[in-house]
């Protein structure tokens, strides 16, 4: 496994691979890897000649009162896991390598960032789109892999790639969950024992919504009210949002008759967790 920290060095290596006709898969991460990340790497290994994994905790997507400084990091463990999953190239740049002094250029994806996490975390997706654009320019992957747990991020990246005519195929992989339903997240490590126990209500509320829709319920407000009642029964849960939106536009929908995304964000103590499901409603 080759590890690079400098842009010029990994670019030259990628150029050599491209000249040799190699297809490149790419998995961008912020490190502290879990089974969800590994599922992306394993999917990329199956579909490409070589897989590049980046580890970069992007300061541009954290707000001033968010957890950038405390975000969990364990590089040695990450490298072992990447190697075991089949990743062959790792890019670990310093912040100054990605954002040199007097950095001024950003990528803004507008309408689909106005709702959900975009409304709650101003500037977050400006940072996401900018760093992913930079990483695509550096790595020049044929395919890039993202997890469905970050559903709005997936749509933002797909929109950016379409709008800016980027020559990369975006692959969205399913959410990986613990046995009790909790979606895997690097931030789960922040939860204490009781918070972790109560956090299972997130997937329970989503699966309840799925059951209601399968039984014929089509009113968004009714479904959200039932989900809210379930979640607020947990004393440590503080709801940030519960939304039912069109899967593609991410606009709120009232009567369900299309592909929808049911997404939520809930805090347990200082830890903000997100989860979602996508459903086809006929």
Residues taking part in catalysis: 37
Distance of alpha carbon 260 from alpha carbon 279, whole angstroms: 5
Distance of alpha carbon 123 from alpha carbon 55, whole angstroms: 21
Closest Cα partner for 97 from 67, 126, 131?
131
CA 213 to each of CA 132, 185, 208, 245, 274: distance values in angstroms, whole numbers, following the listed order: 35, 27, 9, 14, 21
Distance of alpha carbon 12 from alpha carbon 48, whole angstroms: 19
Give buried/exposed letters for 156-182 (b at 16+ CB in 10 A, else e). bbbbbbeeeebebebbbbebbbeeeeb
Q: What is the dihedral of CA 247, 248, 252, 256, to 10 degrees?
A: -50
Distance of alpha carbon 203 from alpha carbon 210, whole angstroms: 10
């Amino acid at each position: 496994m080759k590890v690079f920290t400098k842009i010029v060095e990994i670019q030259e290596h990628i150029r050599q691979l491209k000249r040799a006709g190699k297809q490149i898969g790419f998995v961008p991460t912020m490190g502290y890897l879990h089974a969800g990340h590994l599922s992306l790497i394993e999917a990329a290994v199956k579909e490409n000649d070589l897989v590049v994994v980046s580890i970069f905790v992007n300061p541009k997507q954290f707000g001033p009162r968010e957890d950038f400084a405390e975000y969990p990091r364990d590089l040695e463990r990450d490298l072992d896991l990447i190697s075991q999953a089949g990743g062959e190239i790792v890019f670990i740049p310093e912040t100054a390598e990605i954002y040199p002094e007097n950095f001024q250029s950003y990528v803004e994806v507008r309408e689909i960032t106005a709702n959900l996490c975009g409304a709650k975390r101003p500037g977050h997706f400006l940072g996401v789109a900018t760093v992913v654009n930079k990483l695509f320019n550096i790595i020049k992957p044929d395919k890039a892999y993202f997890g469905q747990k970050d559903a709005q991020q997936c749509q933002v990246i797909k929109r950016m790639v379409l709008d800016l005519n980027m020559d990369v195929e975006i692959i969205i992989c399913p959410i990986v969950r613990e046995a009790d339903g909790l979606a895997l997240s690097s931030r789960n490590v922040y939860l204490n024992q009781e918070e972790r126990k109560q956090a299972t209500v997130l997937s329970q509320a989503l699966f309840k919504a799925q059951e209601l829709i399968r039984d014929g319920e089509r009113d968004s407000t009714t479904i959200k009210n039932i989900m809210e009642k379930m979640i607020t029964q947990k004393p440590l849960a503080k709801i940030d949002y519960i939304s039912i939106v069109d899967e593609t536009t991410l606009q709120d929908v009232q009567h369900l008759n299309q592909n929808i995304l049911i997404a939520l964000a809930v805090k347990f103590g200082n830890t903000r967790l997100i989860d979602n499901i996508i459903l086809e409603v006929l």
